[in-house]
Chain A
Amino acid sequence: MTTPRNIDGQDGYQVSFQKENESLLISLKGEFGLKNLTAFTREIRQAVSGHAIPTLTIDFSQVKYLDSAAALAFVQMEQEAASRKTNCHLANLSEEARGIFSVIHPDVLTRRPFKPEHTGEGVVQQIGQASLSIGRDFVNFITFIGDLLSALAYTVTHPATLRGKDVLFYVQRAGVDGLPIVILIGALMGLIMAFMSYLQFKQFGANIYVPTLVSFAMIKELGPIMTAILVAGRSGSAFAAEIGTMQVNEEVDALETMGFDPVRFLAVPKVLAAVIVVPILTVYADVSGILGGLIIGVTTLDLTFKTYISQSIKTIQVFDVVTSLIKAAVFAGLISAIGCQRGFQVRAGAQDVGKFTTSAVVAAIFLIVLTDSIFAVMLYYVKRYSVFA
């Protein structure tokens, strides 16, 4: 109505009760709204309950402010009174108050929702749904890999269709921009590994093997895996979020209706860029890991710079370096492919983008570890039965 509410929300109200013969008159004074709704309804209910009152009149003549929630509460009191066979009357409603009461349609208050409320599923149902979704996910991923390979094949046979600028952009994003963190983490890993192994090796006077352990571990396993996990966190998630947001904004639909293959247009540059930069980042990680170890070697192990380096070089084999780079390239393909595929799975809304971005990173890390295990077994046999033996 006409009196504004105070900005501090401390609105005053007063409810007085007057009993006459068989009727009860409730006089309202002041402001009635959301902020004092619980208080005044409790007060009125307490006064009304427990008495058989044939006639109840609520007088609005001194009400200065009323909002729709308060009006709703009075409508509810009217309905409750009717159910107790009490004749309830809302008296002296001003024109403004009538307007407010006019927006309350009693039938909508009891109308059943068109859709039942979503309730949580049982454990069995959840297990079933999770199994189905893992199955669907697998089929989706394989289908996407098929799409991606055919798009890559098309790009190879039609090199002019490759969006070179995009590839360079993602080379910078995933590679150059990620270089500082890869070098930092690589150096710290090498440093920690050298220090921890020194603590054990010194008991046997085998300090000279610290550079062997650091370079062997960095080149064969830690370099590629650590770089891949960092790229999955930095770039895999970014690919998923970027494509996901494009899905929400209907940009992917626009590409499709313009006759572009979204996979070729959006995924191929990202995958190519990742496959180019991750092996390079891995080399940086390997070198910085060895240099990190060198710091401990020179400062703590009493090894000379020359001894440390020559011991490291003695350990490193061409086969290990090459397979490490191949591994890195395969990891890069998986990270970028899963990132793009998860992005394309987004349907609507911000929550979907978040869900699939998380899923892109988790799935990428899982695939990295899984593929690394396969590589470990495979390379053992390749080395055993090959010319490298």
Chain B
Amino acid sequence: MTEPSEKKTVLSVKNLTQRFDDNIVFEDVSFDVYQGEVLVIVGGSGCGKSTLLKIMIGLQKPYAGQVLYQGTDITRASDEALNEYRKNIGVLFQSGALFSSMSIKENIALPLQEYTDLDADTIDRVIRMKLGMVNLAGYENHNPSELSGGMKKRAGIARAMALDPRVLFLDELSAGLDPITAVELDDLIIKTNEALGTTMVIVTHELESIYKIAHRVLMLDKEARGMIAEGRPLELKENATDPRVRSFFLRQLPENQDEQRFYAD
């Protein structure tokens, strides 16, 4: 993918710590999200990827630290400021999270009706354009239950993109999808990023996807309780010295672990 030429910070995560009672999820995580980039967050189960994402979209308060968007710390922002921030971001949840009682058209229309002064005809045209963008033209009157998993995700992206957000967050992009649908989604992400310049923060496990779509990768680790690597995916694959990073990118178990698994009992 073509990387954005200039590095302008959109979101700044500073010394973020999250803990629940004595259970520390991660400590002192800091990084920047640059305009126009596709940043992928990876890590094993329980390393706090989803928690980090929830804090970044304002659904969870951190124990300590800041998430800065245009100078505002959204973790301590007032409800009004947080709502303004949310108009500038889009979120695709793991299951798509389309409202099952509404048609696809009504799902996408909702943010447009709530946050803009557009008339019904213009909203209709915007919806058609968004559906065309995600290759779902003609499906406006379908209900979410009539769509396949991949289509639901694409409709979810169309809804998340309804207000042309500056940052799009995608949780477990290809979870539960067949490889072909996953590849189609990757292509959609690349196309959207390149055409609209939308900054994307993605949580995914799919290595092929990561190599294809990511400009930059952040790796979290449960044991380390924080970030253990940051960089371009191919560089991490080739140059990483940390065995945990190497094993993830080379898709291998840490040394001797496969043997141990075989002869464990």
Interfacial residues, chain A to chain B (CB-CB below 8 A): 1-2, 4-9, 33-35, 37-38, 67-69, 72-73, 76, 96, 99-100, 102-105, 108-109, 111-118, 348-352
11 new A-B contacts, CB < 8 A, other than A34-B112, A34-B163, are A7-B69, A35-B116, A67-B196, A68-B129, A69-B129, A73-B122, A99-B195, A111-B137, A113-B138, A116-B141, A350-B101
* Interface contact B141-A117, CB-CB below 8 Å: yes
Bound-state Cα–Cα, A349 to B99, Å = 9
A349–B101 touching, CB < 8 Å: yes
Specify which chain B residues have a CB less than 8 angstroms from the CB of A350 in the assembled complex: 100-101
Whether the pair A104, B129 counts as a contact (CB closer than 8 A) is yes
Instruction: Find out whether the CB atom of B132 lies under 8 angstroms from the CB atom of A113.
Output: no
Bound: A117/B196 CA distance, A: 30
Q: A7-B85, A103-B133, A109-B129 are in contact. Are A115 and B141 (CB under 8 A)?
A: yes
Does B128 contact A109, Cβ atoms closer than 8 Å?
yes
- Closest CB of chain A to B86's CB: distance in Å? 11
Given A113-B139, A113-B141, A38:B119 Cβ within 8 A:
yes
Return chain A residues, CB-CB under 8 Å to B133. 68, 103
Q: Which residue of A lies closest to B193 (CB)?
A: A99
The residues of B that contact A112 with a CB separation of less than 8 Å are: 138
A34 touches B139 (CB 8 A): no
| Contact A7:B142 (CB < 8 A) given known A38-B118, A99-B195 | no
Let me know if A34 and B164 touch, CB within 8 A. yes
Our pick among A7, A72, A115 for the contact of B126 (Cβ within 8 Å) is A72
Chain B contacts with A in 160-180, Cβ cutoff 8 A? 161, 163-164, 166
Chain A residues whose CB sits within 8 angstroms of the CB of B84 once the complex forms: 7-9
CA distance A375 to B118 in the complex (A): 61
Whether A4 lies near B70 (C-beta < 8 A) is yes
Chain A nearest CB, measured from B229 CB (Å):
29
Contact B88 A5 (CB under 8 A): yes
Residue of A nearest to B135 (CB): A108
Q: A7-B84, A108-B137, A111-B137 are in contact. Are A69 and B126 (CB under 8 A)?
A: yes
Q: Across the two chains, which residue of chain A brings its CB closest to B131?
A: A108
B-to-A contact residues, CB < 8 Å: 6, 8, 10, 35, 69-70, 72, 81, 84-85, 87-88, 100-101, 103, 112, 115-119, 122, 125-126, 128-133, 137-142, 144-145, 161, 163-164, 166, 191-192, 194-197
Chain A positions within 8 Å of B101 at CB level: 349-351
> Known interface pairs A115-B141, A348-B145, A349-B101. Does A103 touch B125 (Cβ–Cβ under 8 Å)?
no
Q: A302 → chain B, closest Cβ, in Å?
A: 60
Q: Which of A5, A7, A33 has the most CB of B within 10 A?
A: A7
A109 touches B132 (CB 8 A): yes
List the A residue with the shortest CB-CB distance to B140. A113
Q: Do the beta carbons of A96 and B164 come within 8 Å of each other?
A: no
**A317, chain B: closest CB distance, angstroms:** 52
Contacts of A73 on B, CB cut-off 8 Å? Answer: 122
Q: Quick one: closest A residue to B132, CB to CB? A: A108
Q: List 25 A-B contacts (CB under 8 A).
A: A2-B35, A4-B35, A7-B81, A7-B85, A9-B87, A34-B116, A34-B118, A37-B116, A37-B118, A38-B117, A38-B122, A67-B164, A68-B133, A69-B122, A99-B197, A103-B191, A103-B196, A111-B128, A114-B139, A114-B141, A115-B139, A118-B103, A118-B141, A350-B100, A351-B101
Nearest chain B CB to A367 CB, angstrom units: 28
Q: Is the CB of A4 within 8 A of B195?
A: no
8 smallest CB-CB distances across A and B, nearest first, come from A349-B100, A108-B132, A67-B164, A108-B137, A351-B101, A99-B195, A114-B138, A115-B141
On chain B, the residues within 8 Å of A9 by CB distance are 84, 87
Minimum CB–CB distance for B107 against chain A, Å: 13
Nearest A residue to B69 by beta-carbon distance? A7
Q: A33 with B139: in contact, given A7-B84, A8-B84, A38-B118 (CB under 8 Å)?
A: no
Cβ of A272 to closest chain B Cβ, rounded Å: 33
Could you tell me if A351 and B100 are in contact, using CB atoms closer than 8 angstroms?
A: yes
* Whole-angstrom distance between the Cβ of A94 and the nearest chain B Cβ: 11
Choose one: B125, B137, B195; the contact of A72 (CB below 8 Å).
B125
Complex Cα distance, B163 from A9, in Å, reads: 12
Verify A109–B125 contact, CB threshold 8 A.
Answer: yes
What are the residues of chain B within 8 A of A1 when measuring CB–CB?
197
Q: What CA separation (Å) do A9 and B116 show in the bound complex? A: 11
Please, which residues of chain B bring their CB within 8 A of the CB of A116? Answer: 141
CB distance from A113 to the nearest CB of B (A): 5
Contact A33 B164 (CB under 8 A): yes
- Expressed in whole angstroms, the minimum distance between the Cβ of A378 and any Cβ of chain B is 43
Q: Which residues of B contact A7 (CB under 8 A)?
A: 69-70, 72, 81, 84-85, 88
Query: In the complex, what residues of A have CB within 8 A of residue B100's CB?
Result: 348-352
With A37-B122, A69-B126, A108-B131: A99-B196 Cβ-Cβ less than 8 Å? yes
Chain A residues whose CB sits within 8 angstroms of the CB of B166 once the complex forms: 4-5
CA distance A139 to B130 in the complex (A): 44
Kindly identify which residue among B81, B115, B129 contacts A103, using a CB–CB cutoff of 8 Å.
Answer: B129
Cα–Cα distance between A336 and B46 once the two chains are bound (Å): 39
Partner of B129, one of A33, A72, A99, A348: A72
Residue of B nearest to A1 (CB): B197
Contacts of A111 in B (CB 8 A): 128, 137-138
In Å, the complex CA distance between A99 and B196 comes to: 6
Instruction: Tell me the smallest distance from the CB of B77 to a CB of chain A, in Å.
Output: 10
Alpha-carbon distance between A111 and B138 when the two chains are bound, in angstroms: 6
CA distance A348 to B146 in the complex (A): 11
Nearest residue, chain B, Cβ from A115:
B141
A349 touches B164 (CB 8 A): no
Give the one of B85, B116, B133, B164 with max A CB within 10 A.
B164
- Distance (whole angstroms) from the CB of B100 to the closest CB of chain A: 3
Q: Across the interface, name the chain A residue whose C-beta is closest to B195.
A: A99
